[in-house]
Amino acid sequence: MSDKDTPKQLLHLVFGGELESPEGLTFRDLDALDVVGIYPNYAEAYKVWKSKAQSTVDNAHMRYFIVHMHRLLNPDTDD
């Protein structure tokens, strides 16, 4: 398989934790963050994010996020 045939690797981080307020973005305890993993594309990250978010639906303070790591690593690229 050539480089041209290899899908572009667009890393995404999935993590979550309990927020101080459901409306905010401040975590209650940084040591308790759930770093789920790093995934090679958005579709894979989304599947895991959705599963984790649904498993914590009864806790209004719990939130999971997808971070587009590829944008942080190379901010000059589109996507």
Residue 61 DSSP symbol = T
Domains of the chain are 12-73 (3.30.70.2400)
pLDDT given at position 18: 97
**CB 11, CB 40: distance < 8 Å:** yes
Of 20, 9, 2, the closest CA to residue 68 belongs to: 9
Please tell me the pTM assigned to this model. Answer: 0.83
- List pLDDT tens digits, range 17-60: 999 999 999 999 999 999 999 999 999 999 999 999 999 999 99
The amino acid sitting at 61 is H
Question: Please, which residues bridge with residue 68 across strands?
Answer: 12
